[in-house]
């Protein structure tokens, strides 16, 4: 999983309208923590890890596994 970087800090507080918008910036979605496990099928891209960004976008976590908009 990708950790937060200086480049990502300005957008970590953004609430995205839907998964399409979030995945344009974070191809693998956003995970609540490094230890979060995906409940669904194997994902193609690693999620970006940010508790703050996840909390802003948890409405997009349909399966409630701690990863919003995983691909």
The whole-angstrom distance between residue 38's C-alpha and the CA centroid of its chain comes to 11
Question: Residue 8: pLDDT above 60?
Answer: no
Name which residue leads in pLDDT, 42 or 9: 42
Query: Given CA atoms 43, 44, 49, 50 in this order, what sign does their dihedral have?
Result: negative
What's the pTM?
0.80
Q: CA-to-CA distance for 71 and 69, rounded, in angstroms? A: 6
Please give the C-alpha separations between residue 24 and each of 17, 35, 39, in angstroms, as whole numbers.
12, 24, 22
Report how far apart the first and last C-alpha atoms of the chain are (Å, whole number). Answer: 13
Write out pLDDT tens, residues 9-23: 556 789 999 999 999
Mean pLDDT value across residues 29-58: 93
Segments making up each domain of the chain, as ranges? 9-68
pLDDT of amino acid 6: 46
Question: Residue 41: pLDDT above 80?
Answer: no
The token pair at 13 is: 């507080």
């Amino acid at each position: 999983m990708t950790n937060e970087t200086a480049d990502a800090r300005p957008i970590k507080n953004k609430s995205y309208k839907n998964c399409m918008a979030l995945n344009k910036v974070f191809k693998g979605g956003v995970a609540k923590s490094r230890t979060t496990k995906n409940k669904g099928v194997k994902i193609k891209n690693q999620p970006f890890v940010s508790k703050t960004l996840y909390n802003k976008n948890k409405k997009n976590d349909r399966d409630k596994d701690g990863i919003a908009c995983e691909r």
